Structure 1
Amino acid sequence: MSTMQDVAKLAGVSAKTVSRVFNDELHVSPAKRDRVNAAMAELNYVPNMLARTFREGKASVLAIAVPDLGDPFFASIIRAIDQVAQRNGHAIAVTSLGHDADREQPIVEALLRRQMDGFIIAPISNDQSYLAKWLVNVPLVFVDREPANIAADLFVEDDKGAAHAAVQHLLQHGHTDIAFIGDSENVITTRRRLEGYREALAAAGIPRRPERVLLTEPENASELIAALLSSNDSPTAVFSSNSRTSQEIFPTLQQLNQPRVALVSFGDFPMAAALQPSVTVVDQNPERLGRAAAERLFARLDEPTKRYRRRNVFTADLIERASSAEFVGEAAAARGR
């Protein structure tokens, strides 16, 4: 394993200069910075954060990075991780990545430079190869979203299979015109759920209709749904690919539809069971994901060389409620279908 002294020797600078470059401090000339960065890349160097933590007597901390701290799904994951961390004498540091893929690497690496014992991340970009050098000293666990171009521990749910089952549920209730609404296909969970939606329709012999797929940010979802349902050729059912979108469109579905359009949400959300009609959901169980990710991270800390199954996929069950069953056939009948 390369040391700071090895990097300093190769770059022809002092160890202090290497430290300054790694921590992105000022007062280092561009020429020296370039030499140090080249040397670190050549030697695949990252500092031994865990050793520094013990040496400096700092508190043990786990880092968590998710797309949106305000999303109830990710908030539940964080709470579950925190519970496991507390049992193991650790605090947590949490950050939001947002939805700009270019921000992921600088945000994540800024946290990793601050002596974290481990890192749990739900990524937003399409390339996590930049994390390979950190795996030498910092256990990394991915949750909810699969990483690209790196092999690391992963805990996800069967997005594609659960979406297929949700659409099949609507088909079994007589709906053959089903819309899909979700965020960008750049988000791997949306992409997997869209695949499941399309495959379920194809298996039922229903031709693909691109205009039935609405991709937008949750805050714009109601406007798109309103336009779709106000047309003469509107669907009888909607499959929403995430809970935030479901919460946004539910009031619109209530206001615009006489008779109501069926709804299935990928992901439960607060009050979903109490709404009128109550909302049929794919139960993601974010607490299970967070707990499993945290337990794997601590297992890595305790036994770094032990072999574990990297990719772990949980099933997600459908909870049937009134939004997909109470008005069975009513919408289709009203449209003469």
Structure 2
Amino acid sequence: MTVSSAAPATMLDVARAAGVSRATVSRVFTAPSTVAEETRTKVMDAVAQLNYVLNSAARSLRSGRSNTIALLVGDIAQPFHSQLAKAVAHAAEGRGYSVLLCDLDHSITRLERLLESLPLQGVDGVILATGDDIDTAAVRAAIEEAEDRGTKVLLGTPQLAGTGALVLTTDYESVAYQATKHLLDQGRWPVALLGGSESSVLSPFLTLGFLRACIEAGHEDAEDFIVRTEYSTDAARGATQRLLSGPDNPEGIVASSVSVALGAMSALADAGLATPGRIGLVACEEVQLAEQLRPRLTTVGTKLNLQGAAMADALIDAIQGLPPKERDFAPGLTLRESSAG
């Protein structure tokens, strides 16, 4: 008996022999109805010629899929991400999918590694939800490679255009516009924006919305009241303290997140200016924590149960080869005590 020492054929070998892409080979096994019959025949002829054998994860996909999607979040400690994860999991489970939750902890290196490894583990799709700036050549390449392997990717932030990934995101400019206009309509001025850091891809959108509302109200000097801070309670507390020590104390504050709002509330309490009172406060996201605070926190944002369900459904539809649908989870104002006039 002779034993061949040649390495087993790979999916890339099959693709080359059939004259198609690796993604097409993957679809022949995972979603054959989406591939033309002539192309399927070429691929299966190449499989037979090369004696190609699917790995254990791929074999399970012959009659279906692994029915697992991964949710990658920037920081699971943030109330937004933990609540979004719950919503995604519930929606996915309702369609027979399990969810693998991965905390990026703001690390691009960890993101790159996960995008490379998850498709090899048989994960059908990936939802990427982070406000961090992750638009690098390495991340783009990893997303494109995942898509080539047949793993669908859905982005929850407005970046990485052109990678072929699905995009389903909140209109953050509208969020900041509504929050700012709510305070201005009460006759409050100055209104300050405690915006995200320069490393956040959301900051430009929040800034645009803030400035648009202020300029419409006739406040051309609104840029003087934009204060940058990290998305943390401690950083926002310090930023608010600096704001209050300036020449023009604000009558309203738009916080870029609930965590930032918590820092602002702490600084206002230390200064004897606790809300509700002379300074109104609105946060640019709607999470359950806002209702538990005292005073209860006014917010503008999407309903995360709707957003999470929309993201899970859009990704699973793409995995199953279904046509895309319009999905509406427009942000809205939830009025509570912190911005009472």
TM-score over 0.5 (shorter chain)? yes
- The amino acid that maps onto 1:138 is T
Distance 1:294 1:271 in 2: 23
Structure 1 window deviating more from structure 2 (115-124 vs 56-65): it is 56-65
Which one of the candidate residues 226, 230, 233 is aligned to 2:248? 233
Listed as ranges, the matches of 1:249-328 within 5 Å are 249-258=264-273, 260-302=278-320, 304=321, 306-309=322-325, 314-325=329-340, 328=341
CA displacement 1:180-232 (0-9 Å, x = unmatched): 11322332222211110011111122123444222222131101101211334
Identity of aligned residues (%): 22
Listed as ranges, the matches of 1:67-146 within 5 Å are 67-123=74-130, 124=132, 125-127=134-136, 129-130=140-141, 131-136=143-148, 137-146=150-159
The two structures, once aligned, show a CA RMSD in angstroms of: 3.1
Number of the residue aligned with 1:203: 216
Q: Secondary structure at the match of 1:63?
A: strand
Distance 2:213 2:175 in 1: 11
Distance 1:272 1:263 in 2: 12
Distance 1:98 1:44 in 2: 34
Gaps of 5+ in 2: 31-53
Matched, 1:60 2:67: yes
CA displacement 1:6-39 (0-9 Å, x = unmatched): xxxxxxx9645979xx9xxxxxxxxxxxxx9xx9
Distance 1:178 1:296, change over 3 A: same
Distance 2:312 2:236 in 1: 33
TM-score (normalised: structure 1): 0.75
1:290 deviates by 1.2
Q: Secondary structure at the match of 2:296?
A: coil
- The amino acid that maps onto 1:262 is G
Confirm or deny: 8 A CA contact 1:62 1:92 kept in the other structure.
yes
1:90 deviates by 2.7
Confirm or deny: 8 A CA contact 2:317 2:323 kept in the other structure.
no
Gaps of 5+ in 1: 1-12, 23-35, 329-337
1:168 deviates by 0.8
Confirm or deny: 8 A CA contact 2:243 2:249 kept in the other structure.
yes
- The amino acid that maps onto 1:322 is E
Number of the residue aligned with 1:176: 189
1:59 deviates by 5.1
- The amino acid that maps onto 1:301 is I
Number of the residue aligned with 1:27: none
Structure 1 window deviating more from structure 2 (67-76 vs 263-272): it is 263-272
Distance 1:44 1:54, change over 3 A: closer
Distance 2:282 2:252 in 1: 8
TM-score (normalised: structure 2): 0.75
Distance 1:245 1:14, change over 3 A: farther
1:102 deviates by 4.9
- The amino acid that maps onto 2:202 is T
1:103 deviates by 4.2
Distance 1:260 1:176, change over 3 A: closer
Structure 1 window deviating more from structure 2 (204-213 vs 283-292): it is 204-213
Distance 2:103 2:172 in 1: 22
Distance 1:252 1:111, change over 3 A: same
Distance 1:208 1:147, change over 3 A: farther
Number of the residue aligned with 1:159: 172
Structure 1 window deviating more from structure 2 (123-132 vs 65-74): it is 123-132
CA displacement 1:86-129 (0-9 Å, x = unmatched): 23333221111222445432232222321111111114312453
Confirm or deny: 8 A CA contact 1:64 1:92 kept in the other structure.
yes
Confirm or deny: 8 A CA contact 1:118 1:297 kept in the other structure.
yes
1:146 deviates by 4.3
Distance 1:14 1:204, change over 3 A: farther
Distance 1:210 1:100 in 2: 31
- The amino acid that maps onto 2:147 is L
